[in-house]
Structure 1
Amino acid sequence: MVSDGLWSIGELAERAGVTVKTVRYYSDRGLLPAAGRSSGGHRRYGPQALERLRLIRSLRALDLPVAEVERALERDEALEEAVSAQLREVGSRLAALRWREASLRLVQECPAGERADRLRLIGAVSVPPDTAALARFWRRILPVRLPRRVVSLVLDSVVPGVPAEPTSGQVLDFARLHALVSDPRLDRPAPPLPDGEYRPAVLYEGLAEAYGLAFAEVRAGRAPQDGGALDCFVEAYARALGAADSPDFRRGLVPLLARGDGPLIRRYWKLATGLFGPDEPVLGALHHHLSVALRRQAGEQAG
């Protein structure tokens, strides 16, 4: 043994608990610079090489590719980026595993006669699933001249996220919802207002405010009624049509809302409702509450 305070490749490997082949591999890639050479030309390593080798092993244990490890050793920012990317990948894997587990439970728990149908539904959804088909469905419904910011506002509100820890029932609802919006025979639902001149951006922005007020009322244990959310709801339609809010306008609005609330939209919200979180507003339910309140009010005024 040479008493220069440095170690041979074998000594370094023994101290680090790895094989000589591993040390040589990282050395050849330039990750373990030698502190010197022996008289015979063999690499010699110091304590810094041991610390670096331990760091490399830790990063590799986190499943970082060698190329990412190389960049991480060069600058701290690269390490943060690599760790963030690895966290995203692990999160995606976990989401896929949770979805697969819930899907398996769904098949296991269902009656034997329903398994073929449920397997068909589940098989049509990617793992983990995405909501692209749901977004396309709503883009078909929304007016083509709607500003992009309003489209984003609407999509953020009507497209549920994928549950982080889904139940078997949520897997089934999502699969059925995906099948519903992906049906090539799907007809375009009726627009929220009849054909003609109206300002769609005004309507959707106004409805967003009305739904926000209605959500606050529902969370407080109050059903939307005269004033508050209902007035804001009606005002959104009145402003979009360039009309004034009046008893006659409210009575005329009732059949318009009924026309837009067709079976396809009702089916969508029936399936989507359970996919929203407990603190998320479900616009389909809020719209229904406001429509019922308006219909009741219009009936009382007519009587």
Structure 2
Amino acid sequence: MTDQRYTIGELSRLCGVPVRRIRFYSDKGLLPPATRTMANYRVYSDADAARLDLIQALRVMGVGLAAIRGILARKSSLAELLQLRLSALEAEIAGKRLIAATLRAALRHPEPTADDLRRLWTMTSLSNADMRALTERFYDEVTGDRMNPEWKQKAIAAGAPELPDDPTPEQIDAFAELRAMLSDEAAIAQAKADAELMWTPDFDPAAYHAAAERIFAEARKAMTAGEAPDSQTGSAIARNWLDASARAMKREPDDSFRTWHLDQYRRHHDRSLRYQQLLATLRGEDAPGREWWWINQAMTALVV
């Protein structure tokens, strides 16, 4: 079977592409003619027709000429290029949604102020990737190389704020507040000082985390049953937490360790709780309860 040959006019009619555009692609090296006639007229083949269809499809998707040239020269794979283009389009769509959500948030007030607009429009310049980087910077600053890398990545994954594709005004406000919290240099410095005391070479984060989850569940059960923090049940839970956390930190569960726990709670609980509340708003989850407040009330009443 012989390859069909086409003049530029025939190729134009076959592919539905103007002659002028075909010439443009040819002059740019994207669609060189298969051959030329004795009179120097361009002649194209079936393979050139398929190539022109590919060029047109990529242009419709917004792919640039340089990238198309790389695909046609086999310098990069078509799958890679399409994935990059898809990622770019998804980012663009997310950006448009964020702008729309920002406008909705501004319009919830009958007369938005200049400060409202400034604060809300700032959100359009901060992506989820930016917030992830900000979270990573926070943990890097606070823990340095003291924190086990695996635990650090788990903490970052659990705590990195992510704005939904179509956020509510409340979620935009939560996103903005979380950014401010992660950027608070005074809070970072305080958290760093505390991390230096906690993340010692003897610290067992897996044991500490497991104990915290177990005690948290016990406290929730006690609260549901109507038990007071200073009850016998509260005393037992507080004692278990003191003992388990002391083992994880290779410390003695004495009164000084209890005082350390209470001081940590006093200095960090409100901020930590607020952070978790804002994350819950972003994720559409129920707000965190008062379990740690109950546990620390029980710790306060505990006689060591």
Match of 1:239 in 2: 247
In structure 2, distance between residues paired with 1:241 and 1:269: 24
Aligned partner letter, 2:160 = V
| Root-mean-square deviation over aligned CA pairs | 4.0
Alignment deviations for residues 87-140 of structure 1 (CA, whole Å, 9 cap, x no partner):
11111111111111111011000253x633322322443435321444444444
Match of 1:80 in 2: 79
Match of 2:153 in 1: 152
Query: Which range moves more in the overlay, 202-211 or 114-123?
Result: 202-211
Alignment deviations for residues 52-92 of structure 1 (CA, whole Å, 9 cap, x no partner):
21121111111111222222234496111111111111111
Contact 2:211 2:241 in 1 (8 A): yes
Q: How many residues align?
A: 287
Contact 1:250 1:294 in 2 (8 A): no
Query: 1:82 and 1:32, CA in 2 relative to 1: closer, same or farther beyond 3 A?
Result: same
Please give the TM-score of this superposition, normalised by the length of structure 1. Answer: 0.74
In structure 1, distance between residues paired with 2:118 and 2:201: 38
Match of 2:92 in 1: 93
Alignment deviations for residues 182-230 of structure 1 (CA, whole Å, 9 cap, x no partner):
4566673356959758627835444444566689x59xxx92668xx99
> Equivalences for 1:185-264 in 2 at 5 Å?
188-189=189-190, 199=200, 202=203, 204-210=205-211, 223=220, 234=242, 237-244=245-252, 251-252=258-259, 254-264=261-271
Structure 1 position 54 matched with structure 2 position 53: yes
Query: 1:77 and 1:187, CA in 2 relative to 1: closer, same or farther beyond 3 A?
Result: closer
In structure 1, distance between residues paired with 2:198 and 2:181: 31
Please give the TM-score of this superposition, normalised by the length of structure 2. Answer: 0.74
> Equivalences for 1:1-303 in 2 at 5 Å?
5-75=4-74, 78-112=77-111, 115-129=113-127, 130-131=130-131, 132-142=133-143, 145-183=146-184, 188-189=189-190, 199=200, 202=203, 204-210=205-211, 223=220, 234=242, 237-244=245-252, 251-252=258-259, 254-276=261-283, 278=285, 285=288, 289-290=291-292, 292-293=294-295, 295-296=297-298, 299=301, 302=303
Contact 1:103 1:171 in 2 (8 A): yes
In structure 1, distance between residues paired with 2:184 and 2:32: 61
Aligned partner letter, 2:282 = L
Aligned partner letter, 1:83 = L
Structure 2 SS opposite 1:44? strand
Gapped regions of structure 2 (runs ≥ 5): 223-232
Gapped regions of structure 1 (runs ≥ 5): none
Contact 2:203 2:250 in 1 (8 A): no
In structure 1, distance between residues paired with 2:202 and 2:124: 33
Query: 1:36 and 1:143, CA in 2 relative to 1: closer, same or farther beyond 3 A?
Result: closer
In structure 2, distance between residues paired with 1:230 and 1:277: 31
